[in-house]
A and B are shown apart, each in its own frame.
Chain A
Amino acid sequence: METSISSISKRTVQEYLDLYGITEKDVEELKAIGRKIDPAIDSMLDQFYEWMGRYQEMMAYFRDDGTLAHVKKMQRRYWQIFFSGSINESYVNDRYKIGAIHAQIDLPVAIYFAGINMLYPMLRDHSIEITKHESNKNISGDAAIKLLHLDAALVCTAFTDKRDQMIAENSRAVMEMSTPVTEIWEGILLLPVVGIVDSRRSEEIMNSVLHAISTRNAREFILDISGVGVVDTAVANYLIRITKAASLMGCESTISGISPAIAQTIVQLGIDVDSVRSTATMMDALSKAFRRRGIEMNSTPMAR
Chain B
Amino acid sequence: MSSTQFQITRNCATLLLPRDFGGNDAVEIRNNLLESLHKLPKVNGVILDCSNLTLIDRLDLKQLLDTIHCIHLMGKKIGFCSIGASLAAVLVNLNADLDHCYFGVNIDDAMGKLEDR
Which residues of A are at the interface with B, using a C-beta cutoff of 8 A?
255-260, 262-264, 266-268, 273-274, 276, 278-281, 284
Do B69 and A280 have beta carbons less than 8 Å apart? no
Do B35 and A260 have beta carbons less than 8 Å apart? yes
Q: What CA separation (Å) do A267 and B76 show in the bound complex? A: 15
Which residues of B are at the interface with A, using a C-beta cutoff of 8 A?
30-31, 34-35, 37-38, 41, 44, 66, 69-76, 97, 99-100
Do B73 and A281 have beta carbons less than 8 Å apart? no
A-B complex: 10 closest residue pairs judged by Cβ atoms? A260-B34, A280-B75, A263-B70, A279-B75, A263-B73, A273-B69, A267-B69, A258-B73, A267-B66, A278-B75
Do B69 and A260 have beta carbons less than 8 Å apart? no
Do A260 and B75 have beta carbons less than 8 Å apart? no
Q: What CA separation (Å) do A256 and B41 show in the bound complex? A: 12
* With A276-B73, A278-B75, A284-B75: A260-B41 Cβ-Cβ less than 8 Å: no
Do A266 and B73 have beta carbons less than 8 Å apart? yes
Do A281 and B75 have beta carbons less than 8 Å apart? yes
Residues of the A chain whose Cβ atoms lie less than 8 Å from the Cβ of B74: 258-260, 263, 278, 280
Q: A263-B69, A281-B41 are in contact. List 13 more A-B contacts (CB 8 A).
A: A255-B73, A256-B75, A257-B75, A259-B38, A262-B73, A264-B30, A264-B34, A264-B70, A274-B99, A276-B73, A278-B72, A278-B73, A281-B75
Q: What CA separation (Å) do A279 and B96 show in the bound complex? A: 23
A-B contact pairs, 5 of them (CB 8 A): A258-B73, A263-B71, A264-B70, A267-B70, A280-B74
* With A258-B75, A264-B34, A274-B99: A280-B66 Cβ-Cβ less than 8 Å: no
Q: What CA separation (Å) do A255 and B71 show in the bound complex? A: 13
Do B75 and A273 have beta carbons less than 8 Å apart? no
Distance in Å from the Cβ of B38 to the closest Cβ of chain A?
5
Do A280 and B100 have beta carbons less than 8 Å apart? no
Q: What CA separation (Å) do A228 and B97 show in the bound complex? A: 28
Name the residue on A nearest B31 (C-beta): A260
Residues of the B chain whose Cβ atoms lie less than 8 Å from the Cβ of A266: 69-70, 73
Do A260 and B99 have beta carbons less than 8 Å apart? no
Q: A264: which of B66, B97, B100 is its contact (CB, 8 Å)?
A: B66
Q: What CA separation (Å) do A266 and B74 show in the bound complex? A: 11
Residues of the A chain whose Cβ atoms lie less than 8 Å from the Cβ of B97: 274
A259, A267, A276, A279 interface centre (most CB from chain B within 10 Å): A267
Name the residue on A nearest B65 (C-beta): A267
Residues of the A chain whose Cβ atoms lie less than 8 Å from the Cβ of B70: 260, 263-264, 266-267
Q: What CA separation (Å) do A255 and B72 show in the bound complex? A: 11
B34, B75, B100 interface centre (most CB from chain A within 10 Å): B75
Q: What CA separation (Å) do A263 and B41 show in the bound complex? A: 15
Residues of the B chain whose Cβ atoms lie less than 8 Å from the Cβ of A267: 66, 69-70, 73
Do A280 and B76 have beta carbons less than 8 Å apart? yes
Name the residue on A nearest B35 (C-beta): A260
Residues of the A chain whose Cβ atoms lie less than 8 Å from the Cβ of B30: 264
Name the residue on A nearest B77 (C-beta): A280
Distance in Å from the Cβ of B55 to the closest Cβ of chain A?
23
Q: What CA separation (Å) do A189 and B111 show in the bound complex? A: 33
Residues of the B chain whose Cβ atoms lie less than 8 Å from the Cβ of A280: 41, 44, 74-76
Distance in Å from the Cβ of B30 to the closest Cβ of chain A?
8
Q: What CA separation (Å) do A88 and B73 show in the bound complex? A: 63
Q: What CA separation (Å) do A38 and B8 show in the bound complex? A: 90
Name the residue on A nearest B100 (C-beta): A274
Q: What CA separation (Å) do A280 and B44 show in the bound complex? A: 8
Residues of the A chain whose Cβ atoms lie less than 8 Å from the Cβ of B69: 263, 266-267, 273
Distance in Å from the Cβ of B11 to the closest Cβ of chain A?
11
B31, B66, B100 interface centre (most CB from chain A within 10 Å): B66
Q: What CA separation (Å) do A259 and B41 show in the bound complex? A: 11
Name the residue on B nearest A264 (C-beta): B70
Q: What CA separation (Å) do A268 and B37 show in the bound complex? A: 19
